Amino acid sequence: MNIEVIGISRDLAPSQAKFKETVKAQNVFLSDPEAKIISAYGALNANKIANRYYFLVDENSKLIWKSVTGQLIPVEKLVEDLGAVVKGN
């Protein structure tokens, strides 16, 4: 399974680029200022703020795994969790 990490937020592209540079992220970030994608995944709260949720979606757009705790997941834990999911598919 090919995996691509994509960050989606309501921030505009220039803000995302600055964040990406600051944290030295290697993944793609998409700007969703109208929260269309964020809402579709149920990640927009009552205050119209995007929650920190994680989703693993396969190449057929099937949702395989999600974490909706709203908490930051350390990279090591995320890799461990996703590795277990991928092995199970």
CATH code of 70's domain: 3.40.30.10
Residue 47 has a pLDDT of 93
Total domains in the chain come to 1
If pLDDT is split at 50, 70 and 90, which confidence band does 60 have? Answer: confident
CA distance 40 to 53: 12
- Say if 25 falls within a structural domain: yes
Q: Is the pLDDT of residue 2 over 70?
A: no
Q: What b-and-e string marks burial along 13-42, b requiring 16 or more CB atoms within 10 Å of the CB?
A: eeebeeeeeeeeeeeebebbeebebbeebe
Query: 15 or 69: whose pLDDT is higher?
Result: 15
Beta bridge partners of 60: none
**How high does pLDDT run on average in the chain?**
87
pTM: 0.73
**Average pLDDT of the residues in 41-64:** 89
Domain that holds residue 33: 6-88
- Say if 21 falls within a structural domain: yes
Residue 10 has a pLDDT of 94
- Say if 1 falls within a structural domain: no
